[in-house]
Amino acid sequence: MQQQSIHTHHFPNGLMLIVEEMKDVQSAAFTCLVPAGSIFEPEGQNGNGSFLCDWITRGAGDRDSRELSAALDNLGLQHNEHIGSQHVSFGGATIATRLPDSIRIYSDVIRRPHLPEDEFDAVRDGIEQSLKSLEDEPQRKATIELRRRSFTHPWSRPVDGTLEDLPNITVDTVRNHYTSLFRPNDCIIGIAGNVDVMEMIDVVGEAFGDWQAKTPAKVTPGGTGPKRDFIQHESSQTHIGVAYDSVSYPDPDYYTAWAAVSVLSGGMSARLFTEIREKRGLCYSVYASQAAMKHEGRVLCYAGSSNDRAQETLDVLLQELKKLGDGIQEEELARCKARAKSSLIMQQESTGSRAGSIARDWFLLGRVTTLQEVRDRVDELTVPMLLDYVHRKPAQDFTVLTIGPKALEVNES
């Protein structure tokens, strides 16, 4: 694995720039994390950030909506805007020589958006249709609703908003979200690709250096949702969500926790798929994933089953989660390591992936994790390490959500 070249620069207004030079590629990418995520939305206005992500690209600086789209297309920029719990993120990838102009245009998007009132209704219509489509995607809905019940409020909020709060979202609430939260201090920009570090410092400094800092918004943590919940939905299928405590991303046990979940759900040879779908034929889909934030983490599990086999599916799922501490085979861990290394190779070749990773690492850890460091952490994992972790943090105290025509019983014994 090639040696990585990572540089940081902290601007006087509080903006942090991280640059990873990748001289063997022809592309370059940026990710900008602005601390204006859904956790900062006022109660009853869940969705302000989602509206803003659509609205903010409809004209900026001296370009109207059509001119802005044309300028980005002319640069060949593959771009995205996304709302998360902590940040509104902006990202783009293009040929390396075009990245400086791309960053200059996005400084207008981030700092000088038009937010045209005559386009707000179109934004609302699109978001309303997206939220209503959830009713036709119960698997996705199960995951969203499980997070609402298992994570601490307001980190449990659906980042895309809710139909319940939609009538409360207005031009003024979304503009207030922008004016009160968008700021350079605690903003993080990650750049990766065939770039020159000093040029990137100059470009970002020119584009963002005179952006004025603001007082950070405060967040008051709340509690979690109910441990048991059921959403009535007439269907031939039942959707099951199960969550339990895990570790945060900065926790020293993070990679061990990840590997334990990967034994459960890391491909068609992993336990949940093999035991629940292949051997018993109980469900059409089953998986688990590690969801780690800066301050807390959960394991989130999903299983989709026919109604007549849903209770058995839930029972066996809980049994398999609890059985992990009974033993782990060397070949199971070997498969986890092979999947991780494949992912690392793909990350090494993707400037977009690296730009996002180094920005998120800075937020979560206050430093950048190199690909070699990740590889070393994966290589050092052993079966005794995994079993020790599972015994210290067993699967228990489950949050269980079901969506279907009939509620299920939860047996944790």
57 pLDDT tier (thresholds 50, 70, 90):
very high
Please indicate, yes or no, whether residues 55 and 12 belong to a single structural domain of this protein: yes
Is residue 292 within 8 A of residue 248, CB to CB? The reply is yes
pLDDT of res. 274: 92
pLDDT of res. 10: 97
360 pLDDT tier (thresholds 50, 70, 90):
very high
How confident is the model over 328-336, as a mean pLDDT? 93
pLDDT of res. 2: 52
Task: Give me the CATH number covering residue 283.
Answer: 3.30.830.10
pLDDT of res. 348: 67
pLDDT of res. 121: 97
Query: Is 221 inside any structural domain?
Result: no
What tens digit of pLDDT does each residue of 22-50 get? 999 999 999 999 999 999 999 999 999 99
Q: Which residues are bridge partners to 63 per DSSP? A: 60
Please indicate, yes or no, whether residues 111 and 255 belong to a single structural domain of this protein: no
Give 3-state DSSP helix, strand, coil % of the chain, rounded to 5.
45, 20, 35
Structural domain count, the chain: 2
Query: Is 159 inside any structural domain?
Result: yes
Looking at per-residue confidence, does 3 or 192 come out higher?
Answer: 192
How confident is the model over 292-313, as a mean pLDDT? 96
pLDDT of res. 122: 97
Please indicate, yes or no, whether residues 203 and 344 belong to a single structural domain of this protein: no
pLDDT of res. 347: 66
What does the block give as tokens for 49?
Answer: 């950030």
341 pLDDT tier (thresholds 50, 70, 90):
confident
Please indicate, yes or no, whether residues 198 and 277 belong to a single structural domain of this protein: no
Please indicate, yes or no, whether residues 297 and 177 belong to a single structural domain of this protein: no
Radius of gyration of the chain (CA): 23
Please indicate, yes or no, whether residues 92 and 179 belong to a single structural domain of this protein: yes
105-119, 177-191, 268-282, 331-345: which has the minimum mean pLDDT?
331-345
- Residue where a domain terminates, one of 155, 178, 208: 208
**Average model confidence (pLDDT) for the chain?**
94
230 pLDDT tier (thresholds 50, 70, 90):
very high
How confident is the model over 312-318, as a mean pLDDT? 96
Please indicate, yes or no, whether residues 198 and 261 belong to a single structural domain of this protein: no
pLDDT of res. 339: 85
Residue 3 has pLDDT above 80, yes or no: no
Residue type at position 77: L
| 3-state secondary structure (DSSP) of residue 402 | strand
Query: Is 413 inside any structural domain?
Result: no
Select from 249, 226, 258 the least CA-distant residue to 296: 249
Place of tokens 């004209």: 59
340 pLDDT tier (thresholds 50, 70, 90):
confident
How confident is the model over 218-233, as a mean pLDDT? 95
Is residue 59 within 8 A of residue 114, CB to CB? The reply is yes
Please indicate, yes or no, whether residues 150 and 243 belong to a single structural domain of this protein: no
| 3-state secondary structure (DSSP) of residue 299 | strand
Please indicate, yes or no, whether residues 287 and 395 belong to a single structural domain of this protein: yes
Query: Is 213 inside any structural domain?
Result: no
Q: How many CA atoms lie within 13 A of 387 on its CB side?
A: 11
Please indicate, yes or no, whether residues 233 and 367 belong to a single structural domain of this protein: yes
Q: Is 73 exposed, middle or buried (0-12, 13-18, 19+ CB in 10 A)?
A: exposed
Question: Residue 307 belongs to what domain range?
Answer: 228-404
- For the CA atoms of 196, 197, 203, 204, what is the dihedral angle to 10 degrees? 150
Please indicate, yes or no, whether residues 200 and 244 belong to a single structural domain of this protein: no
Please indicate, yes or no, whether residues 180 and 262 belong to a single structural domain of this protein: no
pLDDT of res. 95: 97
- Length of the chain (residues): 413
